[in-house]
């Protein structure tokens, strides 16, 4: 089975200058946990996830080591949200893009997700985004194709 058989072709994307606030709104509105970041030519230049957005609300580990109280000062974190919400996601997105092609085997895509602990892969053809495939897409397909109907009936 090929990725093209399970991928979603209607992909919600954002541009690098999209604000934190707008990206969070799109994720929530579309019930997504992440989405590709594309340039003006529809080339994937990054991925923004809920985890990236959540991480932006907290100090970096290095900051924590230097000032441990930063994690405990919740009032300051709340005040910082005003500045964070206007940040462009290019400052927050994951730039290392792991992707697959539409003709790659589905199990190859699943293996990449497990190996890199990610939940979605952009599907790229000729350097352009053509779809996205998620763990749920792969798992659901595998269950339907290989596991349904193979259970023994209880006697």
In a domain, 137, yes or no: yes
In a domain, 56, yes or no: yes
In a domain, 128, yes or no: yes
- Count of other CB atoms within 10 angstroms of residue 133: 27
**56, 88 contact by CB (below 8 A):** no
In this predicted model, what pLDDT tens digit does every residue of 91-148 receive, in sequence order? Answer: 999 999 999 999 999 999 999 999 999 999 999 999 999 999 999 888 887 767 766 6
129's enclosing H/E stretch is strand 128-134
**Whether the model pTM is above 0.85:** no
Residue with tokens 């730039």: 95
Range of the domain at 74: 3-147
What's the CA gap between 138 and 66, in Å, rounded? 43
In this predicted model, what pLDDT tens digit does every residue of 6-65 receive, in sequence order? Answer: 999 999 999 999 999 999 999 999 999 999 999 999 999 999 999 999 888 776 666 666
In a domain, 119, yes or no: yes
In a domain, 61, yes or no: yes
For position 50, which CATH number holds? 3.10.580.10
Domain tally for the chain?
Answer: 1
């Amino acid at each position: 089975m090929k990725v093209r058989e399970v991928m979603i072709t209607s992909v919600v994307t954002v541009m690098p200058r999209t604000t934190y606030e707008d990206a969070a709104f799109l994720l929530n509105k579309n019930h997504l946990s992440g989405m590709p970041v594309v340039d003006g030519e529809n080339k994937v230049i990054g991925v923004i996830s809920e985890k990236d957005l959540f991480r932006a609300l907290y100090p970096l580990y290095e900051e924590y080591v230097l000032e441990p109280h930063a994690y405990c000062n919740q009032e300051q974190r709340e005040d910082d949200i005003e500045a964070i919400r206007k940040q462009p996601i290019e400052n927050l997105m994951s730039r290392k893009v792991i992707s697959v092609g539409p003709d790659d085997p589905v199990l190859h895509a699943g293996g990449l997700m497990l190996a890199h602990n990610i939940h979605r892969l952009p599907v790229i053809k000729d350097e352009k985004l053509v779809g996205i495939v998620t763990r749920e897409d792969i798992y659901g397909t595998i269950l339907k194709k290989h596991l349904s109907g193979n259970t023994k009936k209880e006697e």
